[in-house]
Amino acid sequence: MVSLDWTVGVQIVNFVVLIFILNIICYKPIRGILSQRKSKIEGLEDSISSASEEAEGKNQAFADGIKQARTKGQKEKEKLLQAAADEVRAIIDEINAKAKTDLDAMKEKIAGETNTVKATLEKEVGVFADAISQKILGRAA
């Protein structure tokens, strides 16, 4: 059985003093270091999250810039294609107009030559008629 004498009190005082000394020498510095580490980790986590948000913002701005550049490029391409189509249409219209002018001139020339040949043939119709009739009848006039 345990006897309760003055040594138990000394042991309790010794224990309390030892806890006090260990608290001052070991526990407080360790808790201070742990607290510093925790604050440092929290600071690093905050800087990581702010850097991540900043990177996301820059990434979004970059994507928006690319989208705007593509839209602008597409509009420029459409303008150039429209200008080329207009130029082709103008060239085709010019060629068609020249071809129509040449065709009209050619028709007038053919009509003029036809009239000339017709007039010439009308003058010689009598001669041809006599020649044909002589050949058909077989006599000379």
Tokens of 46: 């905050």
pLDDT of residue 107: 94
Mean pLDDT throughout 11-39? Answer: 93
Cα 101 → chain centroid: 45
User: Is 82 among the domain residues?
Assistant: yes
| pLDDT greater than 70 at residue 97 | yes
User: Is 108 among the domain residues?
Assistant: yes
Could you tell me which residues come within 8 angstroms of residue 141 by beta carbon, excluding any fewer than 6 positions away? 130, 134
**Residue-number span of the structural domain to which 108 is assigned:** 8-137
Mean pLDDT throughout 32-42? Answer: 95
Tokens of 93: 């219209």
User: Is 1 among the domain residues?
Assistant: no
Mean pLDDT throughout 65-80? Answer: 96
Rounded Cα–Cα distance for residues 125 and 121 (Å): 6
pLDDT of residue 77: 96
User: Is 65 among the domain residues?
Assistant: yes
Tokens of 53: 């948000």
pLDDT of residue 140: 55
> Which amino acid does the sequence have at 52?
S
Chain segment 98-138, per-residue pLDDT in tens = 999 999 999 999 999 999 998 888 888 888 888 888 888 87
The model carries a pTM of 0.46
Residue 39 φ then ψ, to 5°: -65, -40
Residue 8 neighbours by CB distance under 10 Å? 11
3-class SS of residue 130: helix
| pLDDT greater than 70 at residue 34 | yes
User: Is 3 among the domain residues?
Assistant: no
User: Is 51 among the domain residues?
Assistant: yes
> Which amino acid does the sequence have at 35?
S
Domains of the chain: total: 1
pLDDT of residue 134: 82
User: Does residue 122 or residue 21 have the better pLDDT?
Assistant: 21
